[in-house]
Amino acid sequence: MSDVSVDMSPSLAGVKMTAPLLEVEELKVEFRTRAGIAKAINGVSFEVNSGETLAILGESGCGKSVTAQAIMGILDTPPGYITGGQIRYRGVDLLKRTDEERRLVRANKIAMIFQDALSALNPVFTVGFQLAELFRKHRGMSRADGKKRAVELLDLVKIPAARQRVSDFPHQFSGGMRQRVMIAMSLALDPELLIADEPTTALDVTVQAQIMSLLAELQRERQMGMILITHDMGVVADVADRINIMYAGRIVEKAPVYDIYAKPSHPYTKALLESIPRVDLKGQQLNVIRGLPPNLTRIPAGCAFNPRCRYVRDACKVDPIPPLYEIKPGISSACHFWKEVRGDD
């Protein structure tokens, strides 16, 4: 197949449909604070294709949301600065484009679901007005046509009595229903890539399951690429194709979802899995990861996980940082002793 250019604007005419949907290469982000320079992202690389779900997992503070903000171009500057790398949409490096060109991509091709729906929605406007505004601003629709599309979107995300609820304000919806409104807003302009940043935060397990099922259904129907950001290993088991594990601003393991759960290759991944509550271990003490993630202004030498790792050796405490070793096609681990972690001979 020959490359096909998408006529989005004169300056983005080089976008190629044959290129991966999104490629992030050696991305680096730092925050310049009074306490020092916090290296939030330290050379992160991954790609996402159409119809694929990539999950990015890790504890709070590992750099998941900062990665998403950098992709979307909504990083607060100052104090955050992108200091290196590339973010390519369909082969076009967005970091080399103007703010207006990036806004064009952000508005039409890449959308994001924020983790706090109540803060992301404007409390003084109805949800219908906020949804319709997207169509008025970006599609030139009339107020009536915009409201009609808003009702259709609320129907799409399975909000009961959508025609009546379109006139309600955000505070009149439950947490789960507000999250559905956020999903509707992110899908309004038919994006090719959806970034879901902790979409089930603060929701009970039943609503979590409903939201994840809805996202998976909509993604299949639209063949969107999706980046699912979470700290919950249990959330992604049924929806992700591949998983990237992040720690201290780096990806420490990459693998298909089945391989991550069946045979983790990094001590941090293994510790995360062992800390998940299990019904067959009722009455036993829950495993925990000792210690805390490092201060990003003072990341330890060598492997950043070494102060908390039960497999630690002297080699783990000195530079250089362990690279991502390719164990087999599609599976990589940033651990010198990945064979021991996996139990391989």
Residue count of the chain: 345
The answer for 317, left when phi > 0, alpha when psi is -120 to 50, beta otherwise, is alpha
Residue pair 334/322 in contact by the 8 Å Cβ criterion? yes
| More confident call, 201 vs 319 | 319
Half-sphere exposure of 230 (CA within 13 A, CB side): 23
Report which residue type is found at 185. Answer: M
- Mean per-residue pLDDT, 204-208: 81
User: Which DSSP category does 232 fall into?
Assistant: -
Q: Residue 33's beta-bridge partner residues?
A: 36
Domain segments of the chain as ranges: 241-345
Backbone angles phi, psi at 206, to 5 degrees: -65, -45
Q: Is the dihedral of CA 132, 137, 138, 142 positive or negative?
A: positive
Q: Is the pLDDT of residue 15 over 80?
A: no
pLDDT in tens, 75-122: 988 999 999 999 999 999 999 988 888 888 887 899 998 877 778 889
Distance of alpha carbon 109 from alpha carbon 111, whole angstroms:
7
Q: Is the pLDDT of residue 222 over 70?
A: yes
Kindly state the tokens that stand for 109.
Answer: 């091709």
pLDDT bin (cut points 50, 70, 90) of residue 5 is: very low
pLDDT bin (cut points 50, 70, 90) of residue 189 is: confident
- Mean per-residue pLDDT, 282-310: 89
pLDDT bin (cut points 50, 70, 90) of residue 344 is: confident
Sheet holding 110-113, edge to edge: 110-113, 193-197, 225-230, 53-57, 242-247, 250-256, 331-333, 325-328
Q: Is the pLDDT of residue 12 over 70?
A: no
Residue 311: its pLDDT value, please? Answer: 93
Residue 14: its pLDDT value, please? Answer: 64
Kindly state the tokens that stand for 14.
Answer: 């080089």
Q: Is the pLDDT of residue 58 over 80?
A: yes
- Mean per-residue pLDDT, 121-133: 92
Q: Is the dihedral of CA 179, 240, 60, 93 positive or negative?
A: negative
71-103 as b/e: b if 16+ CB within 10 A: bbbebeeeebbbeebebbbbebebeebeeebbe
Q: Is the pLDDT of residue 13 over 90?
A: no
Distance of alpha carbon 104 from alpha carbon 319, whole angstroms:
42
| More confident call, 287 vs 89 | 89
Pick from 258, 156, 163: nearest CA to 217: 156
Q: How many CB atoms lie within 10 A of CB 25?
A: 15
